[in-house]
């Protein structure tokens, strides 16, 4: 097996073409094997095998810097750069990351996970390289999906201006997670398929002049309309106008051509864009047949491609999607927006049912939020579904474009809390801290999927910005018809008890109930409160608890810094109380990767961990009996 001989990029250098082809096959087999067990980004990695090998034959990643945009396509790079043995641990607790990590290897140039950062980072490195004259070559490998993110263009705009030598490799597989959208995608398509775009100028001149009678005149006329002719005759003119030399399109499976083009780009002194055509899921039919499913996939059966899944209640995401369709059937003003995550956010049925009320904006969270603001101003009722981690991109847009004008936009924050194997770049653990401080916003967190339904419907009754945060994964399996009237700023008391009060937000509520039952068996009666609102808080309930000096425990699957527990402390201080409060949540660290159940156990956020922390905290603390209300 050739794979066993690859310990560093050096081992690639002497391989012959036939060997490279065999090696590529072995890489694919290894990726399929490991991802079928651990889950991961299968389709993107299968598509980029040859390109990654070529990059490592042309550049020296121990010295040069290769930045993988989003980073989900770095598996072959990891195996080539000394992580062949640890590759089977990818995405597991304590294992190697599914994304590049500078702490993991000197060959990883930049930590990525969020899209469209690579060209900015590359430009920064290029500026530093120029200052220190260290001879590094800088490469950004970016997908056509990531290219729809505004940051990529901000960086190209600046890079073309500075003229620093850097190579952008555009890995064009025509797909984001689902088919790519918009003008950038259409333009790349043109470069792929319309011959006149890629035909050399000399050949075009020849063809035009062949037109009987007026061919020569036509060519002269076209030549005078300089701008338009340039656009016709120069392939990749769009990128050339940005100040990049455009090379391509190059077949991403032709080693010779790839290496030739990359070598030319490497030695060019100013910015170059190499347009490489690849195919997502290459070599594995089940992935090619179901690309969005196999973009980021859980464990699956290799022979059939069947996803291995324990029977479980519908996910929060599915309930969100279903509820929004129902609501949209009744309310024609409702529109849904996603930033390239139609499947991930559960909007497929909505998109099919209401194609003219569904908007996939590409990887452009900032634009998604500001566009929603415009829609709301124009009388529509936008629901913007974005993963918690990606709304970080649109922080200012939420403040400046939505909340400042108090516009009725509902921001649906999927994947709030720990997301698992994708790790620190993807955990949605900061949202409560950075959204609750914004004036006008109403921020709700449901304890289960039934409550999510009611919160979505309730948001329609509010005439201002709303955020609703719900976790990754299956719901609690509760009945969806349970009618629970939601009142703005009113918490729900789920269990009475006078010895202590546990305020558990969102997914923390069910473990809190379990803990309370355990305490009850020990003679300690713990009230359990489902706060429902991060903002506004249920001040009247809180004041009662503060007055009675009930020890308080707050639980949240989010950072403790400025989070839900902090909000409780602030309200106590504002009301002039100084209660005993134990805040349980995430400390001031980036949470690692692992299965959610492992992470919760490790971080003390499951019922056992909460029970342990509360018990320890109560030792030596006199539990003053107070009557329930």
Among 98, 145, 292, 382, binds ligand TPP (CB under 6 A): 145
Q: What is the DSSP string of 381-410?
A: EEEEEEEHHHHGGGHHIIIIIIITTT---E
**Binding marks (x or -) toward ligand TPP, 174..193, rule CB under 6 A?**
-xxx----------------
Spatial separation of the C-alpha atoms in residues 290 and 575, rounded to whole Å: 56
Among 50, 111, 144, 431, binds ligand TPP (CB under 6 A): 144
Please state the closest distance from residue 388 (CB atom) to ligand TPP, in A: 12
Spatial separation of the C-alpha atoms in residues 3 and 576, rounded to whole Å: 67
Told to check if 340 binds ligand TPP by CB under 6 A, we report yes
- The set of residues, in sequence order, having a beta carbon less than 8 Å from that of 588 and lying 6+ positions away, is 559, 560, 561
Given 28, 57, 65, 393, the catalytic residue: 393
CB 255 within 8 A of CB 20: yes
Among 91, 101, 137, 393, binds ligand TPP (CB under 6 A): 393
Spatial separation of the C-alpha atoms in residues 554 and 472, rounded to whole Å: 21
Q: Tell me, yes or no, if 280 is annotated catalytic.
A: yes
Minimum CB distance to ligand TPP smaller for 48 or for 603: 48
Please state the closest distance from residue 176 (CB atom) to ligand TPP, in A: 4
Q: Which tokens in the block code for residue 195?
A: 């011959």
CB 504 within 8 A of CB 530: yes
Please state the closest distance from residue 284 (CB atom) to ligand TPP, in A: 15
Given 91, 101, 137, 280, the catalytic residue: 280
**CA dihedral sign, ordered 340, 343, 345, 349:** positive
Q: Which tokens in the block code for residue 499?
A: 């010895």
Spatial separation of the C-alpha atoms in residues 82 and 101, rounded to whole Å: 13
Q: Stretches 3-11, 19-27, 88-96, 172-180: which one binds ligand TPP (CB under 6 A)?
A: 172-180
Q: Tell me, yes or no, if 17 is annotated catalytic.
A: no
Spatial separation of the C-alpha atoms in residues 138 and 126, rounded to whole Å: 6
Given 50, 343, 365, 449, the catalytic residue: 365
Element housing 232 (H / E):
helix 226-233
Among 136, 173, 323, 459, binds ligand TPP (CB under 6 A): 173
Please state the closest distance from residue 458 (CB atom) to ligand TPP, in A: 28
- Of residues 59 through 118, those in contact with ligand TPP by CB under 6 A are 70, 72-73, 114-115
Q: Stretches 19-27, 144-152, 406-414, 546-554: which one binds ligand TPP (CB under 6 A)?
A: 144-152
CB 476 within 8 A of CB 448: yes
# chain residues binding ligand TPP, by CB under 6 A:
23
3-state secondary structure of 345: coil
Please state the closest distance from residue 174 (CB atom) to ligand TPP, in A: 8
Spatial separation of the C-alpha atoms in residues 356 and 360, rounded to whole Å: 11
CB 350 within 8 A of CB 336: yes
3-state secondary structure of 623: coil
Minimum CB distance to ligand TPP smaller for 395 or for 577: 395
Strands (E), 21-177: 65-68, 138-143, 167-172
Among 238, 284, 390, 546, binds ligand TPP (CB under 6 A): 390
- Residue 374 CB neighbour total at 10 angstroms: 13
Q: Stretches 123-131, 169-177, 463-471, 502-510: which one binds ligand TPP (CB under 6 A)?
A: 169-177
Minimum CB distance to ligand TPP smaller for 341 or for 560: 341
Among 146, 159, 247, 526, binds ligand TPP (CB under 6 A): 146
Q: Stretches 55-63, 81-89, 141-149, 241-249: which one binds ligand TPP (CB under 6 A)?
A: 141-149
Please state the closest distance from residue 117 (CB atom) to ligand TPP, in A: 8
Told to check if 164 binds ligand TPP by CB under 6 A, we report no
* Cα–Cα separations (whole angstroms), residue 368 to 305, 374, 469, 472: 34, 10, 17, 21
Minimum CB distance to ligand TPP smaller for 174 or for 205: 174
Minimum CB distance to ligand TPP smaller for 15 or for 177: 177
Q: Tell me, yes or no, if 163 is annotated catalytic.
A: no
Element housing 621 (H / E):
none
Spatial separation of the C-alpha atoms in residues 481 and 465, rounded to whole Å: 26
Told to check if 280 binds ligand TPP by CB under 6 A, we report yes
Spatial separation of the C-alpha atoms in residues 388 and 468, rounded to whole Å: 10
**Binding marks (x or -) toward ligand TPP, 229..258, rule CB under 6 A?**
------------------------------
Sequence-ordered alpha helix ranges (H) in 283-401: 285-289, 316-330, 348-353, 365-377, 388-391, 395-396
Please state the closest distance from residue 44 (CB atom) to ligand TPP, in A: 4
CB 406 within 8 A of CB 372: no
Told to check if 370 binds ligand TPP by CB under 6 A, we report no
Please state the closest distance from residue 393 (CB atom) to ligand TPP, in A: 5
Please state the closest distance from residue 318 (CB atom) to ligand TPP, in A: 19
Q: Cβ-count burial of 190 within 10 angstroms (0-12 exposed, 13-18 middle, 19+ buried)? A: middle
Q: Stretches 55-63, 196-204, 337-345, 500-508: which one binds ligand TPP (CB under 6 A)?
A: 337-345
Q: Given the structure tokens 């355990």, which residue do they identify?
A: 518
Minimum CB distance to ligand TPP smaller for 338 or for 459: 338
3-state DSSP of 246-274: EEEEEECCCHHHHHHHHHHHHHCCCCEEE
Q: Give Cα 13 to chain centroid, integer Å.
A: 35
Told to check if 31 binds ligand TPP by CB under 6 A, we report no
CB 229 within 8 A of CB 196: no
Q: Stretches 168-176, 346-354, 456-464, 508-516: which one binds ligand TPP (CB under 6 A)?
A: 168-176
Provide the annotated active-site residues: 280, 365, 393
**Which residues in this chain contact ligand TPP in the complex, by CB under 6 A?**
44, 70, 72-73, 114-115, 143-146, 171, 173, 175-177, 280, 339-341, 363, 365, 390, 393
């Amino acid at each position: 097996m050739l794979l066993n001989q690859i310990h560093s990029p050096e081992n690639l250098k002497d391989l012959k073409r036939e060997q490279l082809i065999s090696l590529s096959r072995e890489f694919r087999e290894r990726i399929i094997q490991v991802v079928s067990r651990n889950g991961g980004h299968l389709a993107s990695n299968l598509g980029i095998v040859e390109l990654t090998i070529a990059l490592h034959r042309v550049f020296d990643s121990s010295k040069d810097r290769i930045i993988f945009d989003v980073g989900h396509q770095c598996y072959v790079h990891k195996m080539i750069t000394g992580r062949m043995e640890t590759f089977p641990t990818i995405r597991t607790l304590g294992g190697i990351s599914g994304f590049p990590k500078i702490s993991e290897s000197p060959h990883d140039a930049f930590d990525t996970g969020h899209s469209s950062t690579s060209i900015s980072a590359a430009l920064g490195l290029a500026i530093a390289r120029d200052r220190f004259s260290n001879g590094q070559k800088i490469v950004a490998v970016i997908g056509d999906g990531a290219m729809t993110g505004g940051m990529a263009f901000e960086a190209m705009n600046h890079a073309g201006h500075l003229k620093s030598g850097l190579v952008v490799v555009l890995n064009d597989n025509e797909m984001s997670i689902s088919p790519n959208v918009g003008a950038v995608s259409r333009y790349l398509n043109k470069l792929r398929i319309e011959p006149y775009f890629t035909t050399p100028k000399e050949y075009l001149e020849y063809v035009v002049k062949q037109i009987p009678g007026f061919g020569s005149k036509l060519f002269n006329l076209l030549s005078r309309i300089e701008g338009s002719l340039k656009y016709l005759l120069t392939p990749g003119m769009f990128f050339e106008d940005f100040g990049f030399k455009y090379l391509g399109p190059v077949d991403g499976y032709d080693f010779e051509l790839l290496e030739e083009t990359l070598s030319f780009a490497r030695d060019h002194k100013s910015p170059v864009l190499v347009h490489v055509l690849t195919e997502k899921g290459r070599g594995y039919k089940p992935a090619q047949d179901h690309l969005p499913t196999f973009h980021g996939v859980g464990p699956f059966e290799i022979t059939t491609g069947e996803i291995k899944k324990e029977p479980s209640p519908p996910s929060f995401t599915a309930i969100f999607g279903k509820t929004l369709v129902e609501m949209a059937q009744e309310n024609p003003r409702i529109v849904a927006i996603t930033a390239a995550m139609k499947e991930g956010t559960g909007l497929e049925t909505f998109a099919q049912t209401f194609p003219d009320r569904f908007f996939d904006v590409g990887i452009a969270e900032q634009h998604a939020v500001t566009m929603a603001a415009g829609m709301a101003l124009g009388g529509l009722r936008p629901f913007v579904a974005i993963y918690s981690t990606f709304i970080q991109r649109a922080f200012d847009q939420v403040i400046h474009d939505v909340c400042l004008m108090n516009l009725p936009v509902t921001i649906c924050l999927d994947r709030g809390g720990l997301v698992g194997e994708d790790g620190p770049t993807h955990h949605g653990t900061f949202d409560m801290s950075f959204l609750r401080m914004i004036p006008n916003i109403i921020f709700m967190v449901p304890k289960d999927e039934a409550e999510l339904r009611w919160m979505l419907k309730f948001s329609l009754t509010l005439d201002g910005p709303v955020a609703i945060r719900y976790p990754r994964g299956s719901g609690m399996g509760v009945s969806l018809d349970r009618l629970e009237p939601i009142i703005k700023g009113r918490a729900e008391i789920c269990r009475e008890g006078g010895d202590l009060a546990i305020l558990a937000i969102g997914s923390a509520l069910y473990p809190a109930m379990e803990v309370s039952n355990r305490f009850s068996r020990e003679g300690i009666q713990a009230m359990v409160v489902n706060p429902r609102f991060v903002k506004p808080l249920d001040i009247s309930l809180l004041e009662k608890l503060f007055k009675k000096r009930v020890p308080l425990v707050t639980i949240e699957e989010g950072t403790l810094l400025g989070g839900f527990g902090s909000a409780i402390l602030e309200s106590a201080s504002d009301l002039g109380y100084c209660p005993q409060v134990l805040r349980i949540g995430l400390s001031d660290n980036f949470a690692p990767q692992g299965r959610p159940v492992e992470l919760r156990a490790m971080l003390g956020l499951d019922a056992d961990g909460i029970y342990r922390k509360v018990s320890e905290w109560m030792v030596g603390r006199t539990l003053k009996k107070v009557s329930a209300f």
